[in-house]
Amino acid sequence: MGQVTKACSHLEKETIKQKIKLASSHWDRQKWLVIYNALADPRLSAQIARHCGVSQGFVRKVIQQYNRTGEIGLSTPGKGGRRNCYLSWDEEKQLIDGFKEKARRGQIATAIQIKLA
């Protein structure tokens, strides 16, 4: 028999219900639903996963994150986006505007010129 999956009571059940209702994305809603289930009715992670419609690994990962760090552990940046940039938006706009001006005059920018700039 496996271990019962429990969530620490960092937040009250009513607060978690509100988080489920106000979640901005499907995955955020799923995370809060898993936590609510583990807090309200602790049972095996396989049973929680089956009840919530997610994988057993997802349940384990979410519960571990929540138990370690609380609510902050669940707010991840998500997929995609612009997180590895060297220039700010304004600096990048200035850089590109210089190449746009050359393009208006009929000149073609090469990759080497862009890299050096």
Domain ranges of the chain: 4-74, 85-117
pLDDT tens-digit profile of 71-83?
A: 888 887 767 666 6
101 Cα distance to chain centroid: 38
Note the pLDDT of residue 62. 93
Strands 4-5 and 43-44: antiparallel
Report if pTM > 0.75. Answer: no
pLDDT tens-digit profile of 28-67?
A: 999 999 999 999 999 999 999 999 999 999 999 999 999 9
pLDDT at 103 > cutoff 70 = yes
DSSP notation for 2-64: -PEE----SS-HHHHHHHHHH-SSHHHHHHHHHHHHHHHS-EEHHHHHHHHTS-HHHHHHHHH
Instruction: Name 4's bridge partners.
Output: 44
* Region 106-116 average pLDDT: 78
pLDDT at 18 > cutoff 80 = yes
